[in-house]
């Protein structure tokens, strides 16, 4: 069964840090690029970050550039999002995504990040 499971969300104060994890199973994780998305309350889902299958290429949205970093451990079938200098506008449900080809796209259930004092 193809599955993505996020963890690591929670409540953090502005300026704080969190690390999100996305554990993959049911497919050959190291063969696929991965992405993080987020959806804030009342807003559309937006792309946050991308990492290539081997981890050598990463990109982030301008809104998080310099504050968030995406990386992966293919031995552990896990992708991460390290978030620093968090702002209230980073509050959202964060989800990981894999595009496996043949129109098969997999999403995790999401993990809520709340940035508030």
Q: What is the pLDDT of residues 56-112, one digit of tens each?
A: 999 999 999 999 999 999 999 999 999 999 999 999 999 999 999 888 999 999 999
% of the chain with per-residue pLDDT over 70: 100
Q: What is the pLDDT of residue 47?
A: 98
With 90 as the cut, is the pLDDT of residue 5 above it?
Answer: yes
Q: Which two tokens stand for residue 75?
A: 């031995």
Is 101 buried (19+), middle (13-18) or exposed (0-12) by CB count in 10 A?
exposed
Cα separation of 27 and 45, whole Å? Answer: 25
Terminal-residue alpha carbon distance, the chain: 40
Average pLDDT, the chain: 97
């Amino acid at each position: 069964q193809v599955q993505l499971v996020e963890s690591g969300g929670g409540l953090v104060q502005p300026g704080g840090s969190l690390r999100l994890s996305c554990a993959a199973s049911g497919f050959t994780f190291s063969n696929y690029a991965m992405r993080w998305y987020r959806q804030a309350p009342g807003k559309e889902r937006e792309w946050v970050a991308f990492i290539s299958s081997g981890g050598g290429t990463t990109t982030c949205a301008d809104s998080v550039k310099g504050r968030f970093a995406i990386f992966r451990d293919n031995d552990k079938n896990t992708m991460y999002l390290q978030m620093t200098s968090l702002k209230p506008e980073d509050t959202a449900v964060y989800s990981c995504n894999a595009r496996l080809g043949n129109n098969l796209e997999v999403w995790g259930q999401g993990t809520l990040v709340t940035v508030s004092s």
